Amino acid sequence: MSKRRRASKVMRLWDWSVPPTGAHREVLSIVPEGWHDQPRATRKPPLLFVHGIAHGAWCWREHWMPAAAERDYPVFALSLRGHGDSGGRKRLGRTLLRHYVHDVMQTIAELPQPPVIVGHSMGALISQLVADRYQPRGLALLTPAPIQGAAYMLPTILRRRPLDAAKVVAGGTLPLRAEQLFVGLDQTTAARYVDRLGRESPWAQYELFVPHRIGPVRAPVLVVGTPDDRVVDVRAVEETARAYDVEPVWLPGIGHDLMLDAGWEKALGVLLDWVDERC
Partner 1 sequence: MEDRGAAWAVVGAGPHGLSALKNLLQLGLDADGFERDTDLGGNWNFHAENSRVYESTHLISTKPFTQFPDFPMPDSYPDYPSHWQVHRYFRAYAEHFGLFDHLHFNSEVVGITTADGDRWNVTVCNHESGEEITRQYAGVVIANGHNWWPKIPQYPGQDTFTGEIRHSAHYKSADVVRGKRVLVVGAGNTGCDVAVESAQNAKETYHSTRRGYYYNPKYAFGRPSDQTADLLLALRLPLGLRRVMFKTVLRLTVGDFEKFGLRKPDHEFFETHPIVNQQLVYYVSHGDIQPKPDIERFDGSMVHFADGTSVDIDLVVFCTGYLAHFPFLDDSFLNLEGDHPVLARQIFTPTTPTLVVSGLIQPDSGQWTIAHWQAMLIATYAAVRAQDSATAQRFYDAMVAETGVRFTGGTDYKDSTRHYYEIAHQEYLRAVEDDLQRLESMAPALAR
Contacts to partner 1 by CB under 8 A: 1-2, 4-5, 8-19, 21-23, 40, 102, 105-106, 109-114, 133-135, 216-218, 245
* Between 63 and 212, CB nearer to partner 1: 212
Q: Which is nearer to partner 1, 126 or 232 (CB)?
A: 126
64 burial (CB, 10 Å; 0-12 / 13-18 / 19+) is buried
Do 40 and 235 contact (CB within 8 A), yes or no?
no
Least distance to partner 1 from the beta carbon of 134, Å? 4
Quickly list DSSP for 111-177.
SSSPPEEEEETHHHHHHHHHHTTS--SEEEEESPPPTT-SGGGHHHHHHH-HHHHHHHHTTPPPP--
Q: Which is nearer to partner 1, 88 or 144 (CB)?
A: 88
Work out whether the CA dihedral 199, 59, 52, 191 comes out positive or negative: negative
* DSSP code per residue over 210-254: S--------S-EEEEE-TT-SSS-HHHHHHHHHHTT-PPEE-TT-
Length of the chain equals: 279
Closest separation in Å from C-beta 182 to partner 1: 35
Which residue, 22 or 253, has its beta carbon nearer to partner 1?
22
Which CB sits closer to partner 1, 114 or 172? 114
The nearest distance, CB 222 to partner 1, in angstroms, is: 15
Q: What are phi and psi of 91, to 5 degrees?
A: -95, 10
Nearer to partner 1, 19 or 252 (CB): 19
Q: How far is the CB of 181 from partner 1 (least distance, A)?
A: 32
Q: CB 117 → partner 1: shortest distance, Å?
A: 13
Q: Which residues pair with 118 in a beta bridge?
A: 49, 140
Taking the complex as a whole, the smallest distance from the CB of residue 154 to partner 1 amounts, in Å, to: 31
Which is nearer to partner 1, 86 or 201 (by Cβ)? 86
- Cα separation, 125 vs 132, whole angstroms: 11
CB of 79 to partner 1, least distance (A): 15
